[in-house]
């Protein structure tokens, strides 16, 4: 395990690279869901403004 | 052959429902392929004879770089379709691509820097490959900034589509930069005309990551596309169904 984490002495480069990429992967999922939620909320408001009940 | 499928793909309600149905079919295979690729790349693949374990950065760097180019190409093609045939859904696809592409271009630059320092002795160099990839990030940011600056969605679609289409000239420049000019960056090992210049134990996890990231992109695109389609729809009564579901 120790040896694995050490990455042959490249730990300081390998692990940050994986961390950055996986963070971007996870953030994109959060952002995409949030963008869809925002659009749905805006669409609901547009319907309400027209006096229609969603 | 009829063109009905094409017309249906331009119909917002159809696309909205289809995107919702298709998302898990891309998301779950993507997750499996990425986990398998990480296991293969970090554990199963042997260390490189020159770079030791440092080469394992390839399993996050190459997929990020692939995303940066593939997403841009998708965005430019969708933008062109939107401009030429005036299809709203195509503009919605293009707008959905930009934040995904920008974030993976950033990841490609950062992981590249983290690979460059131990192997080349520098995080950054104004090298053709690195510089053209940085320009790609600015193109994405310019596209997003332009959209954010125009209130009217239709005008934002047309103006940003033009930028996306013109900017696509940068994609082949990035890809061929390592062969056209003297670059620190290595030449392609996987995407070449003859067989890949990399051992199967190292190649398979990489292919798994590349395919996994591609499917993951489609899943993200489908989620974002629903939001963009909804935002472009003014009168349709199907919005009521869409938001109440």
Whole-number pLDDT of residue B104:
98
Pick the residue from chain A with its C-alpha nearest to B216: A25
- Would you write out chain A's pLDDT as a tens digit for each of its 54 residues? 889 999 999 999 999 999 999 999 999 999 999 999 999 999 988 888 876 554
Distance, CA of A2 to CA of B229 (rounded, Å): 50
Determine whether B189 is exposed, middle or buried from the number of CB atoms within 10 Å of its CB (0-12, 13-18, 19+).
middle
Tokens of B32: 């499996």
CB contact under 8 A, A43 and B231: yes
Neighbour count for residue B112 (Cβ, 10 Å) = 22
Which region among B13-17, B153-157, B184-188, B237-241 has the lowest average model confidence (pLDDT)? B237-241
pLDDT level of residue B191 (50, 70, 90 thresholds): confident
- Domain range list for chain A: 2-49
- Distance from CA of residue B191 to its chain's centroid? 16
Distance, CA of B71 to CA of B93 (rounded, Å): 11
pLDDT level of residue B46 (50, 70, 90 thresholds): very high
Distance, CA of B223 to CA of B213 (rounded, Å): 15
pLDDT level of residue B243 (50, 70, 90 thresholds): confident
B23 — alpha (psi -120 to 50), left (phi > 0) or beta?
A: alpha
pLDDT level of residue B182 (50, 70, 90 thresholds): confident
More confident: B118 or B191 = B118
pLDDT reading at B24 higher than 70: yes
Angstroms from A50 CA to nearest CA on chain B: 10
Give kind and range of the element (H or E) at residue A22.
Answer: helix A11-49
Map residue B135 onto helix, strand or coil. Answer: helix
Query: pLDDT digits over B84-129, tens only?
Result: 999 999 999 999 999 999 999 999 999 999 999 999 999 999 999 9
Nearest to A28 among B60, B100, B227 (CB): B100
Q: What is the DSSP string of B4-41?
A: HHHHHHT-HHHHHHHHHHHHHHHHHHHHHHHHHHHHII
- Domain range list for chain B: 57-232
pLDDT reading at B141 higher than 90: yes
Whole-number pLDDT of residue A54:
47
Q: What is the DSSP string of B154-204?
A: HHHHHHHHHHHHHHTTHHHHHHHHHHHS--SSPPPSSSSSSS-SS-HHHHH
Angstroms from A49 CA to nearest CA on chain B: 12
B231 interaction partners in chain A (CB closer than 8 Å): 39, 42-43
């Amino acid at each position: 395990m120790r040896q694995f984490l050490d990455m042959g002495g490249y730990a300081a480069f390998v692990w940050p690279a994986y961390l950055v990429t996986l963070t971007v992967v996870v953030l994109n999922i959060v952002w995409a869901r949030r963008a869809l939620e925002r659009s749905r909320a805006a669409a609901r408001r547009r319907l309400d403004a027209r006096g229609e009940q969603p | 052959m009829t063109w009905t499928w094409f017309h249906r793909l331009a119909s917002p309600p159809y696309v909205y429902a289809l995107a919702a149905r298709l998302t898990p079919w891309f998301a779950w295979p993507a997750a499996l392929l990425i986990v398998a690729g990480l296991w293969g790349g970090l554990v199963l693949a042997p260390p490189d004879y020159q770079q030791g374990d440092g080469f394992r950065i390839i399993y996050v760097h190459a997929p990020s770089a692939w995303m940066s180019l593939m997403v841009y190409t998708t965005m430019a093609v969708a933008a062109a379709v939107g401009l030429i045939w005036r299809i709203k859904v195509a503009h919605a696809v293009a707008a959905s691509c930009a934040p995904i592409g920008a974030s993976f271009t950033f990841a490609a630059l950062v992981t590249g820097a983290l690979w460059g320092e131990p192997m080349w002795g520098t995080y950054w160099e104004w090298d053709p490959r690195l510089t053209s990839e940085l320009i790609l990030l600015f193109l994405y940011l310019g596209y997003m900034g332009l959209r954010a600056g125009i209130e009217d969605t239709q005008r934002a679609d047309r103006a940003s589509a033009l930028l996306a289409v013109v900017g696509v000239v940068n994609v082949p420049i990035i890809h061929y930069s390592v062969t056209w000019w003297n670059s620190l960056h290595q030449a392609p090992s996987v995407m070449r005309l003859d067989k890949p210049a990399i051992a199967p134990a190292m190649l398979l996890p990489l292919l798994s990551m590349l395919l996994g990231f591609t499917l993951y992109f489609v899943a993200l695109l489908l989620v974002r596309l629903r939001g963009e389609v909804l935002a472009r729809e003014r009168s349709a009564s199907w919005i009521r169904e869409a938001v109440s579901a």
